[in-house]
Amino acid sequence: MAKIGASFDDKTKLLMNESISIDENQLEDYVLVFINPFDVGSYTASKLNKKIPSKKVENKFLHLFHLSDDDPIIQEALISLRQLCQNSSTVLIKDLSKIIIDVIIQILQANLGLLVKPYLSGDKDQIFVLIKASDHNLKVQADFIDYKVQFNEEAAEVSKNPVLDFQKVLPYAPFEKFEGGRSKNKKISQKRDSEKLYRTYDSEGKPVSEGEFFRFNDRIRIVHSMLKSTMELGQLISLGILQAEFPLHSSPSLNELKRNWASFRKIFKAQPVEKIRHYFGEEVSLYFSWLGFYSKWLCIPSFFGTIIYIIIYATGGYDFHYPTVSICLISFSLLLSISSTFLEQLWLRKENTLAWEWGVTDLEDNDDQRPEFRGKPGIDEISGKRKKIFVPKGLEKYARFMGYWIILFFVGIVIAAITAIFMFRDKTKFAWGPTVAGIANAIQIKVLNYIYRIVARKMTDWENLETNRDYMDSLTFKLFCFQFVNSYASLFYIAFFKASSNHGCSNGDCLSELRLQLATIYLTNLFLNILELGIPLIRDKYRLLREERRAEANGKIMTKEEKEATREDYDAPLDDYMEVIISYGYVILFGVSFPIVPFLALILSLLEIRVDAWKLCNLTKRTFPSQAKSIGIWNNIIQIVSYIGASVNIGIVLFTANAFNIENVAHKWILFLVIEHGIFVFKLLIEDWIPDVPEVVQKGLAWSERIVSEKLYGKVADIKEIMEINSLNFRPVDEDKEVMVEDIIPMASK
């Protein structure tokens, strides 16, 4: 390890040394990838030769680290920085990077006690730093951040009695480190070692009687919290000094997931949700749990929709002179509207159950500032913490308002594109004209969604939202609003407006046009999604091949870490959720026009599970195992789509199909409002009838809270026992002041 007072040249020699005697097999907690400031190749020259005004260098440097200015490492670095700034009005990123990387490696070792192994990449343009924390330091950090781990069976006392339903999930509690024969907690210091309360695991993450307290995902989170406590990783990335930070894939666990999950051969097999959680974290697991739950729900409308589709064509097609067809359509419309409410409510119960089983029910939202958040350094008046303070100026005050106008502008583009497509469709004389128009519409949807996704991110960046949750919620709302219009506009037009337009529907049959348009869009999207899978695969292979050739030119072979660094990052599953919700919208909003659509959606969702799993296991870096207790804003979006779908489906039955052959428009509207409001009332009754949190979860949480209070904090539920433990006794009334019943009765008789 480099000593704090050593010269910079000595330390850089150590940095370049590729034969540091540390066991590589143990250095697997985390990887930091830095730009190599000593690289002279043209590939990184443009980045390294960027200039920063000298007067801003010191301030920028200090904001990269959460250490006091009098820390020896910071003091030494400031001396070097001031020497750089004295000689020039600007400082190159290259020179600043040398100092910053050196400081980081010292902090990792001296301040955080992490084992590190730095080495040069094969093409010498990057510095890889492999990190591992000792068990002792993991315990210290876990205790410091109140990291929650699970009690063992003995501590929870579930082995002594038959396990009740609410006891099937062992309590989760903050980790308390046991120090030299005494626990930090005075209440239990003389009774037992607090560390004996927690479960231990083997190297594969399976519970054992003697093992480690933290599974690999736990280690990643704890190490990452150590890094965040001392440095601004996001700022380092935006500055271009830190190029990547990620945990390494674990080959045995990853290979098992590839075999049993990320394989199309397992398309009809249940997902190993617990193994996904232990490898990728709760946020990713929740997405796949939701997707699996949605697929199961689709089996119901798929089954009935297919039967109705067969019945309709067995009776001669959509001939509404036959009451059977009308009854089938209105029944299927009601089925979609009501069953969607059961989907929402039963998912909320499932979601709360998973949160209980995973110990994240009381998970607090991360209110840390986003690295990209712009503001001036200051002190928060509420928390007293040092943070950036943002005071909007000029157009920044109206960023969100202007964003809505941009959404409207893109909606205008959608309307213009759809108008052009329908003009082509109406003017073409060929029989395949409607099909070509449908394919063009599907391509237009994909292209505009891609363009708007870029614009929406820029708009949300401009809003300068402080926390990651606020940012993601704002971005999600923008994307959903636009994609809702972009994806469904042509279908709404055919269903409700085309009949009264100049061109009208072919033979006055708008339902057939709607059915054809929906089928064409859906099948084209399915084909385009398969094509989309090849694009990231080609990019991944190209990047890997490029890096391998550069390494070979230097006579090197790429390491496992270098190969993984070439992969794309996995963002939060925003795009994945959006794709599924839009597919859900096709079913709920327009499914009644084409009852076989739920079956197509079921096939698509089953494929989506395996495609997304395959991408996670083969194309991306190992994602940070973020925790989550809910799918968040998506629950609200699902509910909104459900209520809109109830109205649209009834509208299609009554207005587009005219299933009841009612000619009077006023009568149609009256019937529509009666049925629609009846469905809304029924949906509200179902939501009220089905509680969001199952009773077993409520009991389990209450039981866990009691066990943790008793075992970890020495608190007990019995009042008398609490008073005895704390030597608390009420002082009795003096004998001369006591009042007896016998004294009261004579007074009452008078």
The length of the chain, given as a count of residues: 750
Whether 365 and 231 map to the same domain: the answer is no
User: How far is Cα 427 from Cα 409, in angstroms, rounded to an integer?
Assistant: 27
In a domain, 742, yes or no: no
Q: What is the pLDDT of residue 553?
A: 73
> How far is the C-alpha of 269 from the C-alpha of 217, rounded, in Å?
25
Q: What is the pLDDT at residue 566?
A: 86
Please state, as a whole number, how many other Cβ atoms lie within 10 Å of the Cβ of residue 622.
Answer: 22
Residues 443 and 578 occupy one common structural domain: yes
What pLDDT does 57 receive?
A: 81
Q: Residue 248: how many CB atoms within 10 A of its CB? A: 19
Do 28 and 74 lie in a common domain? Answer: yes
Q: What is the pLDDT of residue 437?
A: 78
* pLDDT < 50: residue spans in the chain: 1-27, 181-183, 186-191
- Domain contains 709: no
Residue type, 234: G
Distance from C-alpha of 469 to C-alpha of 453, rounded to nearest angstrom = 18
Q: Are 457 and 571 in contact (CB under 8 A)?
A: no
- Whether 421 and 372 share a structural domain: yes
99 and 159 in a single domain? The answer is no
Are residue 489 and residue 469 in the same domain, yes or no? yes
Considering the domain boundaries, does residue 737 fall inside one?
no
Alpha-carbon span 400 to 459, nearest angstrom: 8
Q: Using CB atoms within 10 Å of the CB of residue 614, give its burial: 0 to 12 exposed, 13 to 18 middle, 19+ buried.
A: middle
Is residue 724, in this structure, part of any structural domain at all? no
Looking at 693, 717, 738, which one is the last position of a domain?
A: 693
Looking at the structure, do residues 231 and 303 belong to the same domain, yes or no?
Answer: no
Return all residues near 492 (Cβ < 8 A) that are at least 6 apart. 648
Structure tokens at 575: 């795009």
pTM: 0.86
- As a whole number of angstroms, the distance between CA 245 and CA 186 comes to 39
| Same-domain status, 494 and 555 | yes
- Ranges of beta strands (E only) in 55-171 are 90-92, 115-120, 126-132, 148-150
Q: Is 301 found in the same domain as 334? A: yes
Query: What pLDDT digit, counting tens, does each position of 734-748 carry?
Result: 666 666 666 666 555
Task: Report the pLDDT value the prediction gives residue 108, as an integer from 0 to 100.
Answer: 93
Is 58 within a domain?
Answer: yes
Tell whether 147 is covered by a domain: no
| Encoded tokens for 211 | 């093992």
Both 573 and 629 in one domain: the answer is: yes
Answer whether residue 708 is part of any domain.
no
Q: What count of other Cβ atoms lies within 10 Å of the Cβ of residue 127? A: 23
Hey, what long-range contacts does 148-151 have (CB within 8 A, 24 or more apart)?
148/172, 148/173, 148/174, 148/175, 148/359, 149/173, 149/175, 149/198, 149/199, 149/213, 149/214, 149/218, 150/198, 150/199, 150/359, 151/197, 151/198, 151/199, 151/707, 151/708, 151/711
Q: At what angle do helices 468-492 and 433-463 cross, to 10 degrees?
A: 160
Tokens representing residue 95 in the block: 């020179």
Residues 236 and 112 in one domain: yes
Q: Clarify whether residues 101 and 184 are in a common domain.
A: no
Which run of H or E residues covers position 34?
Answer: strand 30-35
Q: How many angstroms separate the CA atoms of 106 and 81, rounded?
A: 16
- DSSP state, residue 166: G
Q: According to the model, what pLDDT value does residue 718 have?
A: 59
CA count, 13 A, side-chain hemisphere, 413: 16
**Rounded to whole angstroms, how far apart are CA atoms 153 and 160?**
9
How far apart are alpha carbons 102 and 107 in whole angstroms?
9
What pLDDT shows up at residue 162?
66
For residue 153, what is the enclosing H or E element?
helix 153-156
- Specify the number of domains making up the chain: 3
Domain contains 254 = no
583 close to 601: Cβ distance less than 8 angstroms: yes
Residue 229 belongs to domain spanning: 8-136+224-246
359-282-366-362 Cα dihedral, nearest 10 degrees: -20
